[in-house]
Amino acid sequence: MSSETEAREAHDPCPQCYVGGLKRAVVTFSAVRGGSLILVPDLDALLCDVCGYREFPAHSAEALATLLGRPVNADEVERSAVKRSPADEYMMNQLRKQRQNHK
């Protein structure tokens, strides 16, 4: 991973839930295109340890663009994140509010 990605991992909370921290991980990207399931294993990523948000460094995003034949948009990356139940969403929102109140 690049030094920019390593710096982000070391200093930033998750930009989605604001509760978890981003950790280096090797993940599988999944998407449905044209009715077909596409799986791309072994991609470097930063993964939130609470909500499952994924952020791909430049070299992983370029690999996805090459394999899919076009740039990967944010909606596809977001869909590849872990889905939460309504109860989990409620709890995450409560944690976000608490964290924002402490800033």
Domain with 41, as residue range(s), is 3-101
Question: What is the distance in angstroms between the CA of the first residue and the CA of the last residue of the chain?
Answer: 30
By three-state DSSP, how is residue 86 classified? helix
Which pLDDT tens digits describe the chain residue by residue (103 residues)? 555 555 555 457 888 888 888 999 998 888 777 788 888 888 898 988 888 888 888 888 888 888 777 766 655 554 445 556 677 777 777 777 877 776 5
Amino acid identity, position 57: P
Write down the pLDDT at residue 9: 54
CATH number, domain of 24, equals 3.10.20.860
Task: Please give the pLDDT value at position 78.
Answer: 47
Rounded distance, CA 14 to CA 1, Å?
18
Q: What pLDDT was estimated at residue 11?
A: 57
